[in-house]
Amino acid sequence: MKHLLTGALFAMLCTTASATTIEAQLGDADGFGIGVTHASGFLWSAIGGGDGDGTDRWVYGTQAATLTYSLGTLGPITSASLEVFTGGQGLYGLTSVLIDGQLLGTLTDGDDVGPMYNYAWRDTFDLSSFLGLLDGSNTLTFQTNNSGDGWVLDYARLTISDEGGAPVPEPSALALLAAGLIAVRLAARKQRTAQA
């Protein structure tokens, strides 16, 4: 009981440095500018003129885009992921996604048969094996299997995290802990006296 109490007390007094997470995003999450949602169909002709950055615009074949960001106060990177929301991908074969030329995987087939022909999918890729590439500037390539494959990118979001520091007790917390330990010991002694 005493150890349980002191353990809990110590855990409470430690200041836990939480992990820092940054996001780098190309385009806005507005369903290609027309509110299309994950796993739903849409008509390519409904897509507008785009946001000027290559997103929300109907394009054909392989496209590349560069994501630049500041690593700021991020410590050693321990995890990262890439989320992309695209539609109409996959004419006669799936589209590959690459980061700085390294293959991450393929996009979900969004070029199914009718009634809508084009479907929107959110795909997420684990970047655990590519953390060394995350240096503040990365090129994303969407490599279609067919140059005539029409498709649209809503957004691409890179999420990068460090592990955060180990819990560190503060001096004032240590003083409190000492006071807590004395209190616990006194309580235990009182209990023993009562039992005797």
- CB of 80 vs Ca ion, minimal distance in Å: 22
Beta bridge partners of 181: none
Q: Answer yes or no whether residue 56 interacts with Ca ion by CB under 5 A.
A: yes
Which residues partner with 15 through β-bridges?
168
Q: Is 90 left (phi over 0), alpha (psi -120 to 50) or beta?
A: left
Q: Considering the rule CB under 5 A, would residue 27 count as an interface residue with Ca ion?
A: yes
**Which two structure tokens, joined as six digits, stand for 130?**
């590519």
Interacting residues with Ca ion between 127 and 156 (CB under 5 A): 149-151, 154
Give the residue, chosen from 23, 28, 135, 170, that forms a contact with Ca ion under the rule CB under 5 A: 28
DSSP string, 15-71: E--PPPEEEEEES-SSIIIII--TT-EE-GGG--B--SSS-SB-EES-EEEEEE---
Q: Which of 24, 26, 91, 134 binds Ca ion (CB under 5 A)?
A: 91
Q: Is 88 in the site for Ca ion (CB under 5 A)?
A: yes
- Of 96 and 161, the one with the shorter C-beta distance to Ca ion is 96
Window 68 to 87, contacts with Ca ion (CB under 5 A): none
Comparing CB distances to Ca ion, the nearer of 100 and 109 is: 109
Neighbour count for residue 108 (Cβ, 10 Å): 16
Which residues would be at the binding site for Ca ion (CB under 5 A)? Answer: 27-28, 30, 55-56, 88, 91, 111, 149-151, 154
